[in-house]
Amino acid sequence: MQKATSSQPIRHSLRPFQWLQPHWGKLVQRQELILIVLLLICTLALGLGTDTFLSSSNLLNIGVYASWFGIAALGAGLVIMVGGIDLSVASVMALAGLVCALALQVGVSLIAAIGLGLLCGACVGLLNGVLVSQFGLPPFIVTLGSMGLARGITLALTSGAPVRDLPPQFRALGQGEFNLAGIGLAFPICWMLLIACVVSFILHQTVLGRYIYTVGTDERALKIVGVPTGYVKLITYCLSGILAAFGGILMTAKLGVAAPTAAIAYELDIIAAAVIGGASLFGGEGSVSGIILGTILMMIARNGLVLLGLPTYLQWLTIGAMILVVILLDFWRRRQV
């Protein structure tokens, strides 16, 4: 009798928190919620720790630079969702920007020049997709090879020299603004939001989108019902190449110069943004909103570390640690399901 009365207060004290148990797992599994919390924490900390982080010019720069990273990260995220990896995205960005600039210099129209740049990205994506889906080669090795191939072609086209004096109408793609209710919204940010909507539509409103998720989780089941999973992967790698190429064209338009050495080592930030945004390296998971939020978080971290005056090696250390933590959280979440 004494034991029953002594245990009663303990059960009563725990009761107010029992309602959290069925909801906590769902909250933790929402990667977007975690990212929003992290964004708020980073913004608050950097706003208090620096004098210029919350300035309008700095926030605009973060948004603009996040645009081409975000577009490329959306393509890389699609590949990750089907259980692959694309290390060639940064080299494709440089190649597409340089090809577009060279075409403009020889008198090709703006639309045709952009089309040539996108075609380069599609060709690299097609090469990756064929070797991975049709020949069964490991995605890491294939895209590592195409990364070197694309970078080598980029350097060879101009012998390593940059292309300058780009036409004003081309530079306007990356430097112009869209006036919305008296607020200037940079064109690259508009392009990122537009492409994010298109990719979201593909993932959630088309058969291809459903196949992309299913290939990452249970490819064998799709094969049993006769779905050509190899072509799903092929299309996904082509989309990754096209999106990386468009991101590279926007980057070139913003900077006003096409440098063969542009976007070197960007693949780490791009893949990290997709993974931090919820694209699971185990395949089958990911969202457009999460990838965009992951990209913004990456850019805020990079920008904040620079404003704090930290050395470059600490920036790399921080980004690497972020990737490892997210992978561990992803593994933990999967074990809770």
Residue 146 lies in a domain: yes
The total number of structural domains that make up the chain: 1
Residue 311 lies in a domain: no
Q: Higher pLDDT residue, 296 or 324?
A: 296
pLDDT tens for 32-87 read 888 898 899 999 999 999 999 999 899 999 999 999 999 999 999 999 999 999 99
Cβ count near 39 (within 10 Å)? 15
Residue 89 lies in a domain: yes
pLDDT tens for 213-227 read 999 999 999 999 999
Q: Measured in whole angstroms, how far is the alpha carbon of residue 252 from the centre of its chain?
A: 18
Which residue bears the tokens 């107010």?
16
DSSP letters along 224-270, please?
HTT--HHHHHHHHHHHHHHHHHHHHHHHHHHHT-B-TTTTTTHHHHH
- Domain range enclosing 103: 54-264
Mean pLDDT of 317-336: 77
Residue 17 lies in a domain: no
Q: Reduce the DSSP state of residue 87 to 3 states and report it.
A: coil
Residue 184 lies in a domain: yes
